[in-house]
Each structure stands twice: as structure tokens, then as C-alpha cells.
Amino acid sequence: METTPTLPDNPSFNVLNIPTSDQPRLVIVGGGFGGIQLAKSLRGKGFQVVLLDRHNYHTFQPLLYQVATAGLEPDSIAGPLRRMMQSTKDFYFRLANVNRIQTEERILETSLGQLRYDYLVIATGSRTNYFGQEENFGKAFPLKQVPQALDLRSQMLQSFEKAVISSDLNERKELMNFVIVGGGPTGVEVAGALGELKNHVLPSDYPDLDFRQMNIYLVEGNTRILAGMSEKSGEKALRYLKRFSVNTLLERTVTSFDGHQVVLSDSTEIPCQTVVWAAGVRGNVFQGLPEEAIDRGRIKVDSYNKVAGLDRVYALGDVAKMESEDFPQGHPMLAPVAIQQGQLLAKNLKREQKGKTQIPFQYKDKGSMATIGRHRAVVDIGKIRIGGIMGWYIWMFVHLWSIIGFRNKLVVFWNWVWNYFTYDRGTRLIIRPYIPRDNVEKG
């Protein structure tokens, strides 16, 4: 086997306490879907693998909205990264934020100090996209990370606690109106979950509140919701939302939110203290990469996930922009893309070491779906469209199957069964009260 030369391990670049190895050091930044898949697929494949993440856990983002709406505990959708790679030889996890790369020297500048790499894989995912209007929407709630979901849960419950004791009609309106920005799967799922809370759960908790006064608005700039799915599924989802009395406002955007009032592009004003920002994401890129490697906030890669113009640097998942005939704007920011790219990159790195030719990435689309409360979901698989209760079963099965770790699968399943039969969301807890602040993600 051809061995890859490694750079001398200067001790000043090793403050992260990673031992030297006779295997080349491959550093993965980001323990999300793509990073974990790559690390697992590289087990015993001739690399020293160092995984860096600013959290010590992996987040199953597709179910974040259930944490935010008191359906699940946060630890059922998150798993410790160290556990996932237990007893893997020459593997090291470090809890560190990567701030910058020095490409010439092959060094990463992290919150713990500098780290040298032989190979680097950037799998840093995405961050909330405010489309340059961060200063207007700092008071809105993004939904990308577990702490953000917990903030939203607290805010929602605190609002009802305040509404119960408020004698000011205007204030009560603000507290019981909820605006969700963005009619993609996340926005639709949040709206559906709030609708279910309104219809089935909250009236028993707050008998002194009139829940006809609770309004849920879903604001979407497009002419339809779920634009990434078929038209039929979009229409079905719209009907499902109506049954939960969600007001879907199409062809309108939110222009400002000051913490008490939302203003829409058609000048509609909605008194409201809780705005959920589900309008989109963009690549999460750290500093130091050459400008020509970045395109619309994502890192340009070829069909082998290699970063344009850099040697032995790769990017995958949400942060990577891989253009192809089928995806001229890059692949969709979805978990299966990240997982499949992680699998193939591991294979290609091994092939490269053996002097074999590389295999180009070909995305296998497994379909898309969204759920709207109990018994209703829309599913597109190829040309097949499924809705209603059948769609809901498929949605549940796919999500249970995809959650990482047997314990988490079991806990989520048990919670769903409990919620289904009792209509009781056991996690309606204000554990960490939300104190209003600027919620825009920093770095």
C-alpha cells in the first residue's frame, strides 16, 4: 500500500493533545450527519481520525421542532459524539470551535489552539439565513440547534403563563399570536404542532384562557407551501393546516419584527411576541478559505467533494456546493445527501491511497416528507404521492429508523405512543426560562 507522507508534528500545533501516529491525520470538522457517517466509514481504513465539533453531541435536526413544541425531550434527539465512536482505534474527539484555516500550512485555528492536518473534511452544515436582515429579526427564534428549540419551548409556555394573568387585551393578543416565517417542511411542521397544542393540549392546561384567541400564522413568500415537494403534496398540506386553523399567508414576506409586532410586505400588522424563523439556511463556512472556493455561502466542491483549488481539503453535506446536471444550484441541504457523501468520500479516500480511480457522487433521492400534526403527513417518493394516515406512518417509521442510537429510538417511540393515547405532552416544562435577547446565531 502506498503511504501518504505526513507533515512533521510540531508540538506547538498539538495543544489539543492528539498523539502522533504513523497514519495520516484526517481532521473532520462537524459531527453532523455527514461528519459522523464519514468517521464511521473510515474505521480501520488507515487514517488517524480527529473529529472536532463545538457541541459534544450530534443533533437530529428533523425532530427539533418537536422539542420546541414540547413533544420530545432534547436528549432524545441528541447523542454524545464520544459514544458513537467508542473503542475506535486512533480516533480522537475534541470539543472545539474551528475559527479559521491556514491552507498553506495545513493548520486549523480552533478555540483550543492550532491543529495540523494531513487531510481535512469540512462538514460544518448550515446556519440560519436572514437574507442580510439580521438586525430586523434578532428577536425571532431560529430553529437549528437544541438550545434554540429549548428557548422557543420556554417562550411559548411563558407566553401562556403571562396571558393567563394579563388583563390588557392587546398584550393578550400579542402573547397568543404565533407567526412562523417560511412554508418549507420546518415551518409547516412547527405550524402543525402548534395547531395540535391549541386543539388538544393547551385548553386543559389553561382553562381560564379562550383558545379561540390563539392564532397561528404561517407566512410564505412563494405562491405555495412546501415548494420543494410536489404540487399535490403542497395543496394537501395546506388543507391539513386549515383543519388546525392555521392561517397560511402566501405571497407575502415579513419585513420587520420588533418583539411586539410583525409587519408583512403588504403592510399587514400582526401583534405578536413569538416569531419562528424557518425561512432558510446557508452554508456555515469558517474563515481562511480562498474567496474563489465560496459560492453563495457554500463551499464549491467537485463531484468527489474536493474543495476547488485546495489540496487534500474536502467539504460535504449542507456546507458543500456540488453542482451537477441534475442539481445546477448544488444538491439540496438534506440529511441523506450528507450521509451519502460521507459514505462515498470514505471509499474514495481509501481508493486514493491504493492508487485507484475515484467514484463521482450520484445522489440517490429517497424522497421528501412533512408531517402536520397527528394522522397527517405528505410524502413524495419518486412519482408516488402519499398523504393522510399512511403518510404519517411512513413519516414516523423513517424518522424512528434514522435517529442515531437505540436508546434514542426507544425514547422517541415511547414518547410518541404516550402522546398519541393521552394527548399529554409531558415536556411542557420551563426548565430554563427564556430571557429576551438577540437570537441571531453568531459564527
Q: Can you give the binding site for ligand FAD, defined by CB under 6 A?
A: 29-35, 52-55, 61-62, 64-65, 97-98, 123-125, 143-144, 185-186, 284, 286, 317-319, 333-336, 338
Quick one: 119 or 286, whose CB is closer to ligand FAD? 286
Least Cβ distance, residue 365 to ligand FAD (angstroms): 11
Quick one: 62 or 71, whose CB is closer to ligand FAD? 62
Quick one: 163 or 310, whose CB is closer to ligand FAD? 310
Least Cβ distance, residue 1 to ligand FAD (angstroms): 29
Quick one: 211 or 363, whose CB is closer to ligand FAD? 363
Q: Is the sign of the CA dihedral 430, 431, 435, 437 positive or negative?
A: negative
Q: Report how far residue 341's alpha carbon sits from residue 217's, in angstroms, rounded to the nearest whole number.
A: 37
Least Cβ distance, residue 392 to ligand FAD (angstroms): 14
Least Cβ distance, residue 341 to ligand FAD (angstroms): 8
Q: Report how far residue 326's alpha carbon sits from residue 307's, in angstroms, rounded to the nearest whole number.
A: 20
What single-letter amino acid sits at 402? Answer: S
Least Cβ distance, residue 377 to ligand FAD (angstroms): 11
Q: Is 132 exposed, middle or buried (0-12, 13-18, 19+ CB in 10 A)?
A: exposed
Quick one: 248 or 340, whose CB is closer to ligand FAD? 340
Quick one: 176 or 190, whose CB is closer to ligand FAD? 190
CB 294 within 8 A of CB 285: yes
Least Cβ distance, residue 261 to ligand FAD (angstroms): 25
Least Cβ distance, residue 96 to ligand FAD (angstroms): 6
Q: Report how far residue 121's alpha carbon sits from residue 306's, in angstroms, rounded to the nearest whole number.
A: 9
Q: Report how far residue 206's alpha carbon sits from residue 223's, in angstroms, rounded to the nearest whole number.
A: 36
Angle between helices 33-41 and 335-353 (to 10 degrees): 30
User: What residue ranges in 328-401 does DSSP mark as E strands?
Assistant: 368-371, 377-381, 384-386
Least Cβ distance, residue 294 to ligand FAD (angstroms): 15
Quick one: 196 or 318, whose CB is closer to ligand FAD? 318
- Helix, coil or strand: residue 277: strand
Quick one: 220 or 318, whose CB is closer to ligand FAD? 318
Q: From its phi and psi, is residue 234 left (phi > 0), alpha (psi between -120 and 50) or beta? A: alpha
Q: How many CB atoms lie within 10 A of CB 285?
A: 18
CB 314 within 8 A of CB 335: no
DSSP states of 81-115: HHHHTTT-TTEEEEE--EEEEETTTTEEEETTEEE
Quick one: 79 or 176, whose CB is closer to ligand FAD? 79
Q: Report how far residue 323's alpha carbon sits from residue 299's, in angstroms, rounded to the nearest whole number.
A: 11
Q: Is the sign of the CA dihedral 342, 345, 349, 354 positive or negative?
A: positive
Q: Is the sign of the CA dihedral 38, 39, 41, 45 positive or negative?
A: positive
Residue nearest to ligand FAD (CB): 32
Cell of 33: 450527519
- Helix, coil or strand: residue 300: strand
Quick one: 77 or 254, whose CB is closer to ligand FAD? 77
Least Cβ distance, residue 198 to ligand FAD (angstroms): 21
Least Cβ distance, residue 399 to ligand FAD (angstroms): 8
